[in-house]
């Protein structure tokens, strides 16, 4: 399935699936690559998400209909079920799961019926795909979490989530790159900086990459620049 | 070679056309709320299209010039004056050393643009000087702070030259009831013909909840067949219909992705007209064909380019 819809006079949204799945994610990643290769600088902004890609294009080069035609030809090779390609990169993220920073670990343990250690083991035993980035700069939606770890969002969101907090909600996990409001359940904190305005890439990962969490102890967390304060 | 800021007013920010190519990292576009007025402010001075200018929201800004230059003022009429004398809106003006420019409060419209010959000298962050408070990005020191008292906004001095004015036919009346063209798209199909008729057949009122991220409207309640969708990229001007059925128009500093159904998208130029409306103003929606919207955009761009070359002395 490929469907393109106008999104204003200089953008269009491309739908590549209708459910959140590894298959949709693989199609989105494959399509981003094909579109970048064939359009180059005529594509001004590309916002991939779970099942769609928002494309801002140069209307001095294309009108909507010629753009639609060009997108379809660029994607003629796109498989319905692309090989779940090995992710372009696996980014390892150190996480301290200690109680000073794992603000909701006890609550997560209670609602899942797991021990704190089991939550940590499950969370850090697999790699996650970056499905989408948004909400705030560098905020990556990572999935899917193991079934045993699925919890609801907090009933009352926090007004301020500490920077670097690692959190879970529904079937996904994420890291808060900056202090923002947030309703996800916090189970740890990374010392890694997730936003660097001075670097070309800004964020350590992009949609299509994979992330793996590695549990570290308090000393390592602090030695890597981690901060135990709330803010 | 600067304007010294005596008072910043409610919200005055440095803006260029916005940050391109970073939305995939969740970094918003930013840029002028009213692109029509912003582009005219630069075009009047023969500036590059992306030159950095001041967006004055609601007024209150006071500046003193240290060197002669040319400025242009466009957009909302915020009661601007030069040494106490009213300044003609949609026009260029010569400024001498020691001159004081004051924006008082809205007469019509909400946002005024003040451009200076060659633009303000601001170091861009991620390719743009546009100020985004929420992301602590852009602006004078790159940290997303709005203009504040004591700031020095640098420019290159310029000798006075002929005054230029925007043709009357290109000056919008922000007091008029506004008709906004909606390019159907996104989840248009999730709205039944009855819901669409309601949406396009009623007036909506601008509420108090308006900012650089979004404009909340109130009026006839619209219901989509689904209340949530899989999060997807949000274009400028997208019309979100959340569960309460009241439309939210996504503006320049919008979040990059979101999960509410959208009935369609306004053009950038219509977003600009909406951004000049205050709480209580009424708007209506009509269907806008994508080809018509793109043609309209080309006409505007060419018009500006053409007039720049032709010199529009009056």
Pair (A61, A155) in one structural domain: no
H or E stretch at A215: strand A210-215
CA A202-B53-B111 angle, to 5 degrees, is 105
Q: Is the pLDDT of residue A1 over 80?
A: no
Total domains present in chain A: 2
Architecture of domain B178-297: Beta Barrel (2.40)
Q: Is residue A165 part of a domain?
A: yes
**DSSP readout, A129-180?**
EEEEE-SSTT-EEEEPPPGGG-BPPPSS-EEEEPTTEEEEEBTEEEE--S-E
Pair (A212, A129) in one structural domain: yes
The complex's ipTM? 0.95
**DSSP readout, B252-275?**
TT--SEE-S-EEEEE-HHHHHHHH
CB contact under 8 A, A134 and B257: yes
In this predicted structure, what is the pLDDT of residue B311?
52
Q: Is residue A66 part of a domain?
A: yes
For A45-62, the pLDDT digits (tens) are 999 999 999 999 999 999
Pair (A100, A212) in one structural domain: yes
Of A218-222, B67-71, B226-230, where does mean pLDDT reach its minimum?
B226-230
Q: Which of A25, A42, A74 is the last residue of a domain?
A: A74
Of B157-161, B264-268, B269-273, B299-303, where does mean pLDDT reach its minimum?
B157-161
Q: Is residue A199 part of a domain?
A: yes
Question: Tokens for A204?
Answer: 């350590």
Q: Is residue A229 part of a domain?
A: no
In this predicted structure, what is the pLDDT of residue A85?
60
C-alpha pair distances (Å), B197 with each of A59, B181, B194: 31, 15, 5
DSSP-assigned beta bridge partners for residue A207: none
Pair (A60, A135) in one structural domain: no
Pair (A115, A208) in one structural domain: yes
B287 to chain A, any CB pair closer than 8 A? The answer is: no
Pair (A69, A95) in one structural domain: no
Nearest CA in chain A to B132: A137
Pair (A108, A200) in one structural domain: yes
The residue assigned the tokens 């007013």 is B9
Strand A90-95 relative to strand A210-215, pairing: parallel
Q: Is residue A40 part of a domain?
A: yes
CB contact under 8 A, A46 and B24: yes
Average pLDDT of the residues in B9-35: 97
Q: Where are the domains of chain B?
A: 2-165, 178-297
Q: In chain A, which ranges are continuous DSSP H helix?
A: 22-39, 64-74, 105-112, 116-124, 218-223
Pair (A105, A217) in one structural domain: yes
Q: Assign 3-class secondary structure to B164-187.
A: EECCHHHCCCCCCCEEEEEEECCC
Chain B residues within an 8 Å CB radius of A5: 185-186, 188
Q: Is the pLDDT of residue B261 over 60?
A: yes
B249 to chain A, any CB pair closer than 8 A? The answer is: no
In terms of Cβ atoms closer than 10 Å to its own Cβ (0-12, 13-18, 19+), residue B162 is: exposed
Question: What span, in angstroms and rounded, lies between the C-alpha atoms of A187 and A111?
Answer: 13
Q: Is the pLDDT of residue B186 over 60?
A: yes
Strand B108-116 relative to strand B100-102, pairing: unpaired
Q: How close B265 comes to chain A (CA, Å)?
A: 5
Residue B308: which pLDDT band, with cuts at 50, 70 and 90?
low
Instruction: Tell me the average pLDDT of chain B.
Output: 95
CATH for A40? 3.30.1360.40
Q: Is the pLDDT of residue B79 over 90?
A: yes
Return the closest-CA partner of residue A43 out of A26, A29, A60, A23: A60
Question: What span, in angstroms and rounded, lies between the C-alpha atoms of B126 and A127?
Answer: 30
Pair (A26, A124) in one structural domain: no
Q: Is residue A82 part of a domain?
A: no
In terms of Cβ atoms closer than 10 Å to its own Cβ (0-12, 13-18, 19+), residue A223 is: exposed
Residue B306: which pLDDT band, with cuts at 50, 70 and 90?
confident
Helix/strand/coil for B142: coil
B296 to chain A, any CB pair closer than 8 A? The answer is: yes
B26 to chain A, any CB pair closer than 8 A? The answer is: yes
Q: Is residue A230 part of a domain?
A: no
Pair (A39, A152) in one structural domain: no
**Structural domain boundaries enclosing A139:** 90-223
A20 to chain B, any CB pair closer than 8 A? The answer is: yes
Pair (A69, A117) in one structural domain: no
Q: Is residue A80 part of a domain?
A: no
CATH for A160? 2.40.100.10
Pair (A99, A168) in one structural domain: yes
For B48-61, the pLDDT digits (tens) are 999 999 999 999 99
CB contact under 8 A, B266 and A47: no
Question: Tokens for A153?
Answer: 């969002």
Residue A104: which pLDDT band, with cuts at 50, 70 and 90?
very high
């Amino acid at each position: 399935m490929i469907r393109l819809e106008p999104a204003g006079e200089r953008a269009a949204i491309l739908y590549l699936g209708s459910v959140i799945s590894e298959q949709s994610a693989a199609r989105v990643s494959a399509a981003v690559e094909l579109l970048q290769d064939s359009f180059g600088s005529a594509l001004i902004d590309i916002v991939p998400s779970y099942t769609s890609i928002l494309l801002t294009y140069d209307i001095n080069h294309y009108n909507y209909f010629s753009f639609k035609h060009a997108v379809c030809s660029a994607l003629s090779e796109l498989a319905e079920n692309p090989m779940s390609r090995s992710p372009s990169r696996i980014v390892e993220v150190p996480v301290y799961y200690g109680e000073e920073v794992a603000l909701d670990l006890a609550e997560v343990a209670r609602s899942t019926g797991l021990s704190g250690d089991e939550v940590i083991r499950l969370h850090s035993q697999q790699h996650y795909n970056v499905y989408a980035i948004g909400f705030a700069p560098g905020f990556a939606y990572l999935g899917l979490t193991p079934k045993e770890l699925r919890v609801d969002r907090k009933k009352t969101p926090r007004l301020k989530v500490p920077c670097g907090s690692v959190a879970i909600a529904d079937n996904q996990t994420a890291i808060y790159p900056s202090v923002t409001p947030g309703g996800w359940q916090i189970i740890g904190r990374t010392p890694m900086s997730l936003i660097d305005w001075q670097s070309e890439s800004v964020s350590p990962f992009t949609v299509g990459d994979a992330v793996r969490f590695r549990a570290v102890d308090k000393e390592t967390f602090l030695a890597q620049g981690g901060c135990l304060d709330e803010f | 070679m600067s304007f010294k800021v005596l008072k910043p007013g409610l919200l005055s920010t440095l803006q260029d056309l916005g940050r391109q190519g970073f939305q995939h990292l969740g970094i918003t576009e930013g840029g002028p709320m009213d692109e029509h007025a912003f582009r005219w402010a630069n075009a009047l001075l023969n500036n590059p299209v992306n030159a950095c200018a001041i967006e004055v929201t609601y007024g209150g800004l006071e500046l003193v010039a240290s060197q002669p230059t040319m400025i242009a003022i466009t957009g909302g009429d915020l009661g601007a004056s030069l040494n106490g004398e009213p300044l003609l809106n949609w026009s260029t003006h010569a400024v001498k050393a020691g001159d004081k420019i004051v924006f008082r409060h809205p007469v019509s419209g909400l946002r005024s643009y003040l451009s200076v010959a060659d633009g303000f000298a601001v170091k861009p962050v991620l390719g743009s000087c546009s100020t985004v408070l929420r992301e602590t990005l852009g602006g004078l020191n790159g940290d997303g702070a709005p203009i504040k008292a004591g700031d020095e906004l640098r420019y290159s001095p310029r000798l006075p030259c002929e005054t230029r004015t925007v043709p009357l036919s290109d000056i919008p009346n922000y007091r008029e009831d506004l008709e906004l063209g909606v390019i159907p798209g996104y989840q248009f199909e999730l709205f039944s013909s009855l819901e669409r008729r309601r949406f396009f057949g009623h007036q909506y009122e601008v509420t108090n909840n308006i900012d650089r991220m979004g404009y909340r409207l109130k009026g006839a309640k619209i219901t989509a067949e689904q209340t949530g969708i899989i999060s997807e990229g949000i274009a400028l001007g997208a019309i979100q219909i959340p569960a309460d059925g009241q439309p939210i128009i996504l503006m320049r500093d919008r979040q990059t992705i979101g999960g509410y159904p959208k009935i369609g998208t306004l053009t950038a130029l219509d977003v600009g007209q909406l951004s000049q409306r205050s709480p209580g103003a009424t708007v209506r929606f009509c269907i806008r064909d994508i080809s018509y919207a793109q043609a309209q955009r080309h006409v505007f761009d060419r018009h500006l380019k053409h007039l720049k070359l032709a010199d529009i002395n009056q």
